[in-house]
């Protein structure tokens, strides 16, 4: 399994490097690289959520055995299913990470080139606000099984290389979040009421109170979430006022 996954990572790394050259050519951007990524260095290692390599694939894949043994089940079939579910999460992420890591090196090797985040709808609300944003440094925040890609570009052309995401492209918005957006609230602000900071390992972490009605804003204390607004508002006019007061509606 480790050999097969390493082969997949090698293929992903090769595709990642080639995608950089293809994307820049498509945008008519001429950026000669200062060197070529060494493809072998991206295969046979495991990647953590913050993009660093953490060890061997053997150690990572053995997690399937651990999950199978620790599964709260009596049958062998159920235990095997737990191990398989672990692999379905880990394997695609590791191949994608190898591809993105190689692409990031190919991007960094070209002066003046950064990237914009290209999401693959339907996407999750963790990635939606990042779609089309330009990054000068080729580091990449992701969650397990994230299939977003890095599209190399320069700052002058990045709006043409990426695209924005609408609420219909986001698969895990709540009913109240969708209502707030339909009422005119800014989608990114609504999403950020559920996800307001990133943990040290690079994963996205929610910060809501126990009653799910308030959230810690950026240095501004607590404020109502869209769910809380609709729960305490008797009329649409009251809801719209609270959406404005809490910064969701401009």
DSSP state of 123: B
Report pLDDT for 20.
Answer: 94
Report pLDDT for 221.
Answer: 59
Spatial distance between the Cα atoms of 234 and 212, rounded to a whole number of angstroms: 19
Report pLDDT for 53.
Answer: 60
Q: How many C-beta atoms lie closer than 10 Å to residue 190's C-beta?
A: 26
Report pLDDT for 205.
Answer: 43
Domain boundaries, given as residue ranges, for the chain: 2-161, 173-245
Report pLDDT for 218.
Answer: 52
Task: Report mean pLDDT in 10-residue bins for the chain, 250 residues.
Answer: 95 94 93 88 81 76 91 85 92 90 88 88 86 80 81 82 78 89 90 58 48 57 72 84 80
* Residues 198/167, Cβ–Cβ less than 8 Å: no
What SS3 class is residue 59?
Answer: helix
Which whole-number Å values give the CA distances from 133 to 114, 115, 155, 177, in the listed order?
11, 8, 10, 22
* Residues 39/106, Cβ–Cβ less than 8 Å: no
Report pLDDT for 198.
Answer: 44
């Amino acid at each position: 399994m480790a050999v097969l996954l390493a082969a997949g990572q090698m293929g992903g790394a090769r595709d990642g490097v080639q995608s950089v050259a293809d994307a820049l050519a498509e945008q008519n951007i001429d950026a000669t690289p200062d060197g070529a990524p060494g493809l072998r260095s991206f295969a046979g290692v495991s990647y953590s959520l913050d993009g660093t390599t953490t060890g061997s694939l053997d150690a990572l894949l053995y997690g399937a055995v651990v999950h199978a043994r620790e599964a709260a089940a009596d049958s062998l079939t159920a235990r095997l299913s737990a191990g398989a579910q672990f692999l379905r999460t880990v394997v695609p992420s590791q191949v994608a990470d190898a591809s993105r890591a190689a692409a990031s090196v190919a991007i960094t090797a070209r002066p003046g080139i950064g990237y914009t985040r290209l999401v693959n709808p339907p996407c999750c609300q963790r990635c939606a606000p990042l779609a089309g944003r330009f990054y000068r440094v080729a580091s990449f925040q992701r969650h397990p099984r994230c299939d977003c890609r890095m599209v190399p570009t320069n700052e002058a052309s990045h709006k043409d290389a990426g695209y924005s995401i609408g609420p219909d492209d986001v698969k895990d918005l709540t009913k109240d979040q969708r209502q707030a957006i339909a009422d005119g609230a800014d989608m990114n602000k609504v999403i950020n009421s559920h996800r307001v900071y990133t943990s040290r390992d690079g994963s996205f972490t929610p910060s809501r109170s126990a009653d799910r009605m308030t959230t810690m804003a950026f240095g501004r204390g607590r404020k109502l979430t869209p769910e809380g607004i609709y729960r305490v508002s008797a009329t649409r006019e009251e809801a719209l006022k609270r959406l404005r007061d809490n910064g969701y509606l401009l």
